[in-house]
Chains A and B, each alone.
Chain A
Amino acid sequence: MPPTDEILVHARGLTKRFDAFTAVNAVDFDVRTAEAFGFLGPNGAGKTSTMRMIACSSPVTEGDLTVIGMDPRTQAPQIKARLGVVPQADNLDAELSVEENLLMYARYFDMPMSVARPRAAELLEFMQLTERAGDQVEPLSGGMKRRLTIARALINDPELIILDEPTTGLDPQARHLLWERLYRLKQRGATLIITTHYMDEAEQLCDRLVVMDKAAIVAAGTPRELIEKYATREVLELRIPDGARSSLDGRLDGLAERIEELPDRYLLYADDGEHALEGVHGREIPIDSALVRRATLEDVFLRLTGRSLVE
């Protein structure tokens, strides 16, 4: 099902403060029905606080927020009845079995057992957990716990699924399996809101996304739009011998739209990377290696949020 024009989550001036600390500062965004919408940003950018407000787990400090046509301030239980929430860290019930985790969660949604049992069996199948149905949760691998957490979030057949860093800490096989399952959910018409700091994940899954930094939204659009706006089509990565770096002064200028100097290499942002490389050769600049690649969301992300470490 393609994204529609219907707006499922509507935020204007949405703000979250903890005492003096502002976690989310007056952000505006709209999530449309049946799209996958991403929140990107470094740690502490305000992604999780935003997600928790949408999930009605955290009260809105200021601003307007509408979720599935309802107001989280007054209709939180009604909204939650139609949401699926996958938190950043798994909070499965370690004292219950895999299947009991799903059955009990269905009870919290007021689903009768007669409905919950077939639904749980179906979800265990969908998440490839059927063989582990009777097992305790603790011995499961990280990927299996993640899949169980997602299965649990689907028990009430939610219209909106909120996933906070769904694949952090998983191995590549587990990530690809999850991506494939999330894609299938989207095909069936579910709306997804995802936070991540994996750019490949955002490119794979998200129709549209916003980049958050220091509690604010700094860019918004489709992955392609963001790359066009904040990066060039291609990037030329150059490694220059240490001895030659000091005598380089300005000889790269003009070869690309933008040049970034990193401790180990230079990044030349250009629409035609090969053409820029010819220029480098033409100016007889000594290089150890050169690589032309397409610009990615990662280039956009680093440009917008900086390269310094956030801790």
Chain B
Amino acid sequence: MAVIAGSRPGPPPIANALTGAVAGAARVLQRNLMVYRRTWRGSLFGSFLTPLLYLTAMGIGLSQLMARGGTDMLGGVRYLDFLGPGILASSCMQTASFESTYPIMGKISWRRNYEAILATPMEVHHLLIGELSWIAFRMTSMATVFLIVLTVFGIPRSPLALLAIPAAVLTGVAFAAPIIAFAATRHNDSGFAALFRFVINPLFLFSGTFFPVSQLPDAGEWVAAATPLYHGVALVRGAVLDSMPATWPLHLAYLVVFVGATGYVAYRLLRRRLVK
């Protein structure tokens, strides 16, 4: 007489939703760190090089010219001081954006890592939270290196500058979440070149990195204020120059809400793509 196999007693593999999400995400992070162990030197060197090049070329070269025109427009600080934190925030945007395009696409469809992982007790939200944690890790190490370089140039005003690290993390994740959502809908990489050309590069140029957004025409100013980079730059610059604007809670709230909303969309789209 045939009997149907019973479930073996024992705790379920993941005891509750919260510890499960943290543990699952930690494994995705661990996997990325395992890969990073082989590549971290090059990546860290790049983190040194970027601010060094920008600050040398634009900061020192340009600021000589600009000093003659006065610095009122910059809030009375040297151009180098204005530029340094701006470059920090926009580099975070660029790295986080890149990490959320080709590598994520590869894990979805070229190398199908996610398919392999989802054959285990891991679930889609573990993948997403894990990848965002990985971005947070990268942003932390990048911002730390940047702060060291900025210090060499004498830019930070006080230990408050350390708050630039969480601000940079938030800025990076605010780009990673919507771009992972975008990557989850793509079947080839042709959209990514357009994303960088038409979204990321214009933001880099017009979101307060190189000049105050107040220089833009009113409409431009509103557009810039709707993007996460603008708010990221405001917080990072406020921290580094110890001149946090009174509006900081608004910038912070904007980024937090933006990450929550786009993160949820990313979860839905990843799930739709990976579970069929």
Contact = CB atoms under 8 A, between A and B. Distances in A.
Interface of A: 5-8, 10, 18, 30, 32-33, 55, 57-59, 66, 68-70, 75, 77-78, 80-83, 85, 87, 89, 91-96, 100, 104-105, 107-110, 152, 156
Interface in B163-217: none
Contacts of B118: 57
Nearest to B115: A91
Interface of B: 1-8, 12-14, 23, 27, 30-31, 34-35, 111-113, 115-123, 275-276
A30 to B, nearest CB: 7
The 7 closest A-B pairs by CB, nearest first: A108-B120, A77-B121, A91-B112, A69-B7, A85-B119, A91-B116, A81-B13
Given A57-B118, A58-B276, A108-B121, A93 B113 contact: yes
A77 B14 contact: yes
B120 A68 contact: no
Contact of A66 (B2, B4, B23, B30): B4
Given A93-B111, A93-B116, 18 more contacts: A5-B2, A6-B5, A7-B5, A18-B276, A30-B2, A57-B275, A68-B8, A69-B7, A77-B12, A78-B121, A91-B112, A95-B35, A96-B31, A104-B34, A105-B116, A108-B121, A108-B122, A109-B120
A78 B6 CA distance: 13
Given A93-B113, A109-B121, A110-B121, A7 B30 contact: no
A80 B4 contact: no
A256 to B, nearest CB: 38
25 contacts: A5-B3, A6-B4, A7-B3, A8-B5, A55-B119, A57-B115, A58-B276, A66-B4, A69-B4, A69-B5, A70-B7, A77-B12, A78-B12, A78-B13, A80-B121, A87-B116, A87-B119, A91-B113, A92-B116, A95-B35, A96-B31, A96-B34, A104-B31, A108-B120, A110-B13
A135 B33 CA distance: 18
Contacts of B34: 96, 100, 104
A241 to B, nearest CB: 53
A94 B4 contact: no
B111 A94 contact: yes
A184 to B, nearest CB: 22
A94 B38 CA distance: 13
A257 to B, nearest CB: 34
A10 B6 CA distance: 12
Contacts of A108: 27, 117, 120-122
A70 B2 CA distance: 17
A93 B121 contact: no
A86 to B, nearest CB: 9
Contacts of A93: 31, 111, 113, 116
Nearest to B36: A95
B116 A80 contact: no
Contacts of B119: 55, 57, 80, 83, 85, 87
Contact of A107 (B8, B12, B30, B112): B30
Given A18-B276, A68-B7, A104 B13 contact: no
Contacts of B111: 91, 93-94
B65 to A, nearest CB: 46
Contacts of B8: 68, 82
A75 B30 CA distance: 26
A130 B12 CA distance: 33
Contacts of B121: 77-78, 80-81, 108-110
A97 to B, nearest CB: 9
Nearest to B119: A85
Contacts of A10: 4
Contacts of A95: 35
A94 B107 CA distance: 10
B24 to A, nearest CB: 8
A32 B80 CA distance: 73
A7 B2 contact: yes
B3 to A, nearest CB: 6
B2 A77 contact: no
Nearest to B24: A108
A152 B275 CA distance: 21
Contacts of A57: 115, 118-119, 275
Q: Which of A5, A77, A92 has the most CB of B within 10 A?
A: A77
B269 to A, nearest CB: 17
B10 to A, nearest CB: 9
